[in-house]
Structures are given as structure tokens and as C-alpha cells.
Chain A
Amino acid sequence: MQVSVYRYNPETDQKPYMQDYTLDLPEGKDLMVLDVLNLLKEQDVTLSFRRSCREGVCGSDGMNINGRNGLACITPMSEALNGKKKLVLRPLPGLPVIRDLVIDMSLFYQQYEKVKPYLQNNEPAPAIERLQSPEDRAKLDGLYECILCACCSTSCPSFWWNPERFVGPAGLLQAYRFLADSRDNATEERLSELDDPFSVFRCRGIMNCVNVCPKGLNPTRAIGHIRSMLLKNAT
């Protein structure tokens, strides 16, 4: 089995390069890409990548697998190869590389922080808890499940070109998650932070984000909802 991995150590390497490895995979088993990385790590301890939960929950092993962003731990080799002979692993595109497959996610988190991803409610708190009807709760389905793996934002050309000004699909999905929450009453303030020509409107509806999200979420639809809310407010 041929595996080609993006390598870069800023302390010793002038520039990044692709390193080829040969690996014997156990027969009759469809390994996950993360298993393959762990086998490579046994062969070459200098190889760096992030992982934690190994079951698609923590969001730390987002990477570019044969040209497509995804989580290594829940991407089976059969799907990753899709008939090809070679596995090619690169870091998520568009953000600075710290080392090998490890990227600096600061810009991604800054955009997340911008949308104030927490409930805001200035009414006095009730004695026990803020109740929500099942219908209102259902509006959060498809929004709250995001694990911030950054697969979507780093596949979005608009985010590549303007990562400091365009919030990006992951941040916007969360922006809508709080706009849609019946317990949050900062809707006006939230919208007024988003109506400039960059934060939301840099989305060109390319839908790369929808295409790669390992949790099957749909940031484009959330962005459409935000746009409708902005339009309703401004006209």
C-alpha cells in the first residue's frame, strides 16, 4: 500500500514536501484512515497529526484525504481510495501549517468567537430553567451537532480568500444556531454584526461545506436563513 503524506517541519525544512511510505495492511479489513496514520507513526515517529476520540466526536483529525476534507477516524480506506491505489494525506487547506498535518486554527476560532456562540438573554432568569417547546427545540437540530472540525470552512474558497473577514460556514452555522434559539433574545444585536458585505455575504453558495461536513450538516441552508432574517430586518 502506497501512502503519500505532506511533511513540513518549519525548524528544519525550507519548504513542505510529500513523503512516500509503503505499508502492509492487514487483509480483509477496511481500516480507517486514522488507523493507517497510526501504523505510519510506528514506522516514522516524527510524523505529526492530531487525533483524540477516534470516533468522529472531538473534531481534531480533520485533514485532506485524497483531495477531500474529512475526519481520518471515520473515513474508511475503501471510501478514501475510491478505486485509487494511493492514499494522499495533506493538512486542511487554507490555514497556516504548524507541522505536517497539524494546522494553526486561530483564524477559524476567531471567526467562531465573533458570532458570540453562547446564549444571551437579559431577562431575569426563572427559578429553575428557561423552558423551550419541543417545536422550538427542534429548530436547533442540524445546528448544535457541529464539532468544529473545520472541514467545511477550509474547503470554502471564500474562507480561503478572506479568513479574517468572512465568518465561514462553521461560524455561520453557529451564528444561526443562536439566532434560531427561542431562549436567546440578542437577535437584533447579532444581526447588526452580520450585515456588512463580508461576514455573511461572502458566501457564494458553492456548497463545498455541505459536501464535506462529516456530521452531515448543511451550513449553506443556515446561511440562507441568516440572509432571509437580515433581509426581513432591513427592508
Chain B
Amino acid sequence: MVKNITSFTGNGVADWLVQRVSAVILAAYTLFLVVWFLALPEWSYEAWSGLFAQGWMKIFTVLAVLSFVAHAWIGIWTATTDYLKSNTAVRILVQLAVILVLFIYLIVTFDAVWGV
């Protein structure tokens, strides 16, 4: 058993499952937006904000950004533990910087979704 505290859940099976499920959610969200754009007769700010004013779209968007944060963290955590091996301080700093960026994404999305 290899111990690690910075992986997303600390458990390989859970991380693996979260990475797959979040990928599906992100794919669905992206596909939905593309189809929505293509189906729109005319692109306008009203149509765009109208979409995000609906409850289900808020939930879908928050779900997507949560998936994004989890997915990105699992992937980047893997990359840091593959390639940033020689210097622990560098690895932790990079990991903290990525966590900060993902946290900002999360807050900005929450703010945007509830601002509509």
C-alpha cells in the first residue's frame, strides 16, 4: 500500500472513478453547448443569459465546473508526481498553485452563475 495525501480522494479506485465520471459530464456539457449554439437562430446576449437564468442550467453548469476541478486536479496531480520528483518543495508549490487556480475557477463560476 502506497501512501499519498495530495491525490484527490487518497484512494486509487475513487480517483479513477471520479476521473471517468467527470469526463462524461464534461463531454455532455460541452456537447450540449455546441448543439445549443448551432441550434440558435441568432446569437444574442439575451438568449445566452436566458439560458443561464434557468435553474437546471445553473445546476448543470455547477456540476460541470465541479467535474472540471476534480478532473483537472486528478490529471495534474498525476503529472506532478510523475515529473516533479526530485524536489519536494517545487512539487508542493506547483500543486498549491494549481489548487489556487482551480479554486478561483470555482468561485468565479459560482459568482457568474448566481449573477444571472
> Contact residues of A with B, CB < 8 Å?
158, 161-162, 165, 192-202, 227, 230-231, 234-235
Contact = CB atoms under 8 A, between A and B. Distances in A.
Q: Chain B interface secondary structure, helix, strand, loop or mixed?
A: helix
B13 A234 contact: yes
Contacts of A161: 81-83, 85
Contacts of A197: 2, 4, 7, 10-12, 15
6 contacts: A194-B1, A197-B2, A198-B2, A202-B78, A231-B17, A234-B13
Contacts of B14: 234
4 residue pairs, one from A and one from B, having the closest CB atoms = A201-B12, A198-B2, A161-B82, A197-B12
Given A201-B12, A234-B14, 11 more contacts: A161-B81, A161-B82, A161-B83, A195-B11, A196-B2, A197-B15, A198-B2, A198-B81, A199-B2, A200-B12, A234-B13
Interface residues of B, number: 18
B110 interface: no
Interface string B1-42: 111100100111111110000000000000000000000000
A198 B82 CA distance: 10
Contacts of B82: 158, 161-162
Contacts of A231: 13, 16-17
A193 B13 contact: no
Given A161-B85, A192-B1, A199 B12 contact: yes
Contacts of A194: 1, 12
Contact of B1 (A158, A199, A230, A234): A199
Contacts of A192: 1
Contact of A196 (B4, B17, B83, B85): B4
Given A161-B82, A162-B81, A195 B4 contact: no
Contacts of B13: 195, 201, 227, 230-231, 234-235
Nearest to B82: A161
A76 B17 CA distance: 44
Given A161-B85, A162-B81, A165-B2, A198 B17 contact: no
Contact of B11 (A158, A193, A196): A196
B70 to A, nearest CB: 14
B21 to A, nearest CB: 12
B83 A198 contact: no
Contacts of A193: 1
Nearest to A160: B82
B13 to A, nearest CB: 4
A178 B14 CA distance: 24
Nearest to A158: B82
A193 B1 CA distance: 5
Contacts of B1: 192-196, 199
Interface centre among A192, A194, A201 (most CB of B within 10 A): A201
A102 B15 CA distance: 38
A165 B7 CA distance: 14
A199 B82 CA distance: 13
A155 B15 CA distance: 25
A161 B86 CA distance: 11
A165 B1 CA distance: 9
A158 B4 CA distance: 17
A134 B81 CA distance: 43
